[in-house]
Chain A
């Protein structure tokens, strides 16, 4: 792969993961919902959009919207137990549900082609754009999505809705005493986050044109967690920066593998080990992340 194409690939993947990081940040950094099953949105978004187009011939735009809708609905489902479960128990439940989603994708071959995955996902607007320009086009497409999501999530964060979420994160009882329906708010936050995650999944599926349950293992969720821990919770710039740092690290060490005498399995292990250590180091020494949450000033 030429250098330019590699950089475009890297940027596109960073872009897709920043959407996932922003979605996770909305749950964790804003609402205090500790979601260890984030990969489920990624998976549902990818599978929904690709299956609709490949198997049912649905127009791409509709497929994307359906992916977002279905992920949003799953977000709703995941939010229901927050009423009765404390945050650490809920986190464990989300871990389990993320894996269940993947196992369904793996086993229900009649729907998802099981371990073989969905192949031959068509590239969007393939006929209109030259083969050489296509990577750039897709990158721009992803960037546009990021800008829109950043804009919308930012608006939500700065609104009374966002204020309520932040308050739930820090003092849920206070919110109840002020008349807030905290359960409904969490639900809404999860639906929004789910939709963004689903969008990322759809973008992913149509980029690499082939997906399988292997792409949606729990390790993905922890990569996203590393991104928001490193980048900074409670703000979306941090989520993007975190995505940049972690993905750069991820991909560049793959590259380095050519020059360093470690086997590919060992490189992968070293890479993940460093990510684990990064998570610990940041939690110990810089818990706010690289980019701190901004104070909201009124004049």
Chain B
């Protein structure tokens, strides 16, 4: 579904991405690991349109998407979360969910003013889906709280639910369990697994925790210094010499 060919990204003289090629298929969970600074988040940022590439090609569902602005890429079905969860302070959890809803009537002044009954219908339908997702993520009691008041882990759960409101075909998760306490981490992992089984979508996850990786990923890519140094199942890469060196070397 997602094909990356020889992707390059430079910051001045620093080669953040140095010819990375990889593929993520439909209906699976793929992991992306590597020491700090290996280019993982940069990869996500380029793929999702927030950074401009310096070379290479990116294909999603067969069409070339490099060069498109982030909102167009998201609309094509490739969505992402952020390493540091973004949550509009003055919006409630439910508002956040509704914000993300896929098909909304009333997102422009004309329809907001003159197509009120259809807006109402679409809002109700989206509200139902939002409540369903919040329930599954066990965030329902917080539904009318300001998103800014949530704990770090809860914000991560919210990010997950929010991106699902978009009904994406593929989701890029940037360190979904970073900075989260172990109980919540288990909750998050379960949520991701459950969502994947339910919706049969593709997940591409940046993670630092090998536990999470071995637990939920079908395949893993390893980056170091902007280059792909290994790929395979979690078991395979855990025993890969180069991978161990990369992590130990940077310790």
> Chain A interface (Cβ within 8 Å of chain B)?
152, 155-156, 159-164, 166-167, 169-171, 173-182, 184-185, 188, 191-192, 234, 293, 295-298
Report A-chain residues with C-beta under 8 Å of the C-beta of B116.
Answer: 155
Report B-chain residues with C-beta under 8 Å of the C-beta of A182.
Answer: 71
Segment from B5-13, B53-61, B103-111 that makes contact with A: B103-111
20 pairs, CB–CB < 8 Å, chain A vs chain B: A160-B107, A161-B107, A161-B108, A161-B109, A164-B99, A166-B88, A169-B88, A170-B89, A170-B90, A175-B99, A177-B70, A178-B71, A178-B79, A178-B99, A178-B162, A191-B109, A296-B92, A298-B127, A298-B143, A298-B144
3 closest Cβ contacts across the A-B interface?
A: A170-B88, A159-B112, A179-B74
Q: How far is the CA of A297 from the CA of B91 in the complex (A)?
A: 10
Report A-chain residues with C-beta under 8 Å of the C-beta of B162.
Answer: 178
Report A-chain residues with C-beta under 8 Å of the C-beta of B18.
Answer: none
Report A-chain residues with C-beta under 8 Å of the C-beta of B88.
Answer: 166-167, 169-171, 174
Report A-chain residues with C-beta under 8 Å of the C-beta of B219.
Answer: none
Other-chain contact of B144, A156, A162, A192, A295 (Cβ < 8 Å):
A295
Report B-chain residues with C-beta under 8 Å of the C-beta of A174.
Answer: 82, 86-88
Nearest Cβ distance between residue B23 and chain A, in whole angstroms? 22
Nearest Cβ distance between residue A51 and chain B, in whole angstroms? 27
Q: How far is the CA of A159 from the CA of B112 in the complex (A)?
A: 6
Other-chain contact of B113, A152, A177, A180 (Cβ < 8 Å):
A152
Are B50 and A173 touching (Cβ within 8 A)?
Answer: yes
Are B95 and A188 touching (Cβ within 8 A)?
Answer: no
Q: Mark B191-221, 1 if CB is under 8 A from A, else 0.
A: 0000000000000000000000000000000
With A178-B74, A179-B74 in contact, is A160–B90 under 8 Å at CB?
A: no
> Chain B interface (Cβ within 8 Å of chain A)?
48-50, 69-72, 74-75, 79-82, 86-92, 94-95, 98-100, 104-109, 111-113, 116, 119, 122-123, 127, 143-144, 146, 162-163, 166
Q: How far is the CA of A184 from the CA of B71 in the complex (A)?
A: 11
With A297-B144, A298-B94 in contact, is A156–B112 under 8 Å at CB?
A: yes
Are A173 and B86 touching (Cβ within 8 A)?
Answer: yes
Report A-chain residues with C-beta under 8 Å of the C-beta of B146.
Answer: 295
Are A176 and B71 touching (Cβ within 8 A)?
Answer: yes
Are B108 and A188 touching (Cβ within 8 A)?
Answer: yes
Report B-chain residues with C-beta under 8 Å of the C-beta of A177.
Answer: 48, 50, 70-71, 74, 79-82
Report A-chain residues with C-beta under 8 Å of the C-beta of B71.
Answer: 175-182
Q: How far is the CA of A173 from the CA of B49 in the complex (A)?
A: 11
Among residues of B, the one whose C-beta sits closest to the C-beta of A294 is B90
Q: How far is the CA of A174 from the CA of B74 in the complex (A)?
A: 11
Are A160 and B109 touching (Cβ within 8 A)?
Answer: no
Most buried by A among B72, B74, B111: B74
